[in-house]
Structure 1
Amino acid sequence: MRSLAFAHPEPQRPRSRIWPVFIPFAGCPGRCVFCAQHIQTGCAQTGLDRVLETVEADLTRAHELGRGPYELAFFGGTFTALPEGYPERFLALSDTFRKLGLITKTRCSTRPDRVTIPMLKELGARGLHMVELGVQSFDTTALDVSGRGYTADQVHRACDAVRAAGMELGIQLMPGLPGDHDDVFRQDVRETCAIGPDNTRLYPCLVLRGTELEQWWREGRYAPWDLERTRIELTCGVGELWAAGVPVIRMGVAPEEKLQPEIVAGPWHPALGQSVRARVLLEHVKARIAELGRAPRRLEVPFRHSGEIFGHARELVDEYARIGLDRESIRMVDRKRFSLC
């Protein structure tokens, strides 16, 4: 009986533990209509000197306890637009702990209109390894309506600048922005695949309390994606990104304790990433069945993917049954590859 072995569709990438440092709103030239970083990160806006002190104390403690190594990551603000001297101070602190073996790499998030090649080369010389650009979309209309303040051309120039500076590149997309129209997200995915970043994050747009977007939603001027559309769109998008070799390292905002009560509308789910990953895997299995050329009799799944195969709360059990794989014909094995027979 002919069998077909295949790998998981997700691109392989080095695993690292992230030590996040949140600097909400710091360096931002304004506030986008959807933005509530203090809610999204779970951290209140704090003076940068205080952030430096806290990070140094926490890293010192981690080193004393023999923890790590970690990749230090600055999120929540516009790192490259921090007041003069602060990017250098943060990177000097990172370098201190890199020499101690606690920190391996340093990354930051920033805006596409706040980077230049000379600036990035200087920061790279001080120890910055990766820049994640808060692109949100390559669609100029969506960017304009959302108050981002830059164009698609500036996004492309920023991606080129990061590469030209010799750094790793991350792209953050926000499906369902105000100004969204048919095919925007899918075109954003195609643009991202063409650029080929080292990773991407997908944050479906939410309506958070206290934002301008909340007012638009209440006035009927904005309608967020529902959860089912979000799952469908992300499944297609992640499948394309994985096929292009682009890892997706985050889907949806993290389930911070204070976040959920502040979401007034939008496609938030605590296991969105798990649900989407499982659906992409299901589509991959369907494609392999087509290659097999007949109805499947058994699917063998590596143990490491046993929690993913049926999705969140086993939501895909019936979907597998429809393609001829009921629960009795799917078994876990101590191997690295899947197998259909």
Structure 2
Amino acid sequence: MHNTNWAILGCGSIAHKFAEDVLATEGAVLYAVGSRSQEKAENFRQHHNAQKAYGTYEALVKDPNVDIVYIATPHTFHKEVTLLCLAHKKAVLCEKPFAMNQEEVEEMIAFAKAENTFLMEALWTYFVPHYQFALQTAHSGELGAINSLKADFGIDVPKNPSHRLYNKNLGGGSLLDVGIYPLFAALTMLGIPETIEAKATLDTNGIDLNCDMELTYANQVKAHLFSAIDTQTDTTCRIELEKGTILINSRFHDPTNVTITKNGITETLDFPVSVHGYHYEIVHCQEMLAQGKTESDIMTFEKSLQLISLLDQVRKKIGLTYD
């Protein structure tokens, strides 16, 4: 079996976790890392024993041995770096959010299709076993129809203007960074809502410190969602159904366990992972490349477009804008 040479662009905390999972995945090779700083790239390379370190993104994408690039830069650079990779026929797994708005996502997808090159949004939760189990259970009908969904993702990050989450130029704020997960849960469990209401607390520079969302579906089914960077929350996802409850325990977007309540009986199922859990999407991307596909059959372009549309609609409701 052909090994897949992975390259990572960006050297932040998530890139380190992803690198550890690449190293633990069969058929995956941590081939290269790229940064705008040669020193950062070299330190990352040495730490994870990658083969190559590049001090520019351009140099990395010109390496003929790179099969696929994982983009772990701040949100505002996702479109630019994705287009650069695709222009050099490099398959791309781009961290969420895919881009800053629907227009950018549409441009990325159109370019991937034109270049006939694989592109996928790295929303890893979709691939982790506990979430797939919860999704299948909710949709199986064994617990009846969904009556409501409640999901939150709040972290308490000390206010620091230089921190990425508080920097508007880097796409800071709660919605795009952590609010995307509750929205993703509502989208995958319930689909497209009929209406969206939202309110937020905005910082002095205009980013959202927290965001409260309510999505309404047919038959008055509602999803209550919350995100924050100034408040720690349980970070759970609770689905109430006609005949029971599905509780995806903290932190619901990470590998965790799921508690099912039915007929007065409660059972918690564990889904242990070997490293962080990114290897599920890594394996999926490798399978897609091996099959010659240019689009994921799980995290499809349609799903990414639906998700960014929801994010755009919430941003409009709360008055959150980015240049």
Specify which structure has the higher proportion of strand.
2
State TM-score, norm by structure 1. Answer: 0.31
State TM-score, norm by structure 2. Answer: 0.32
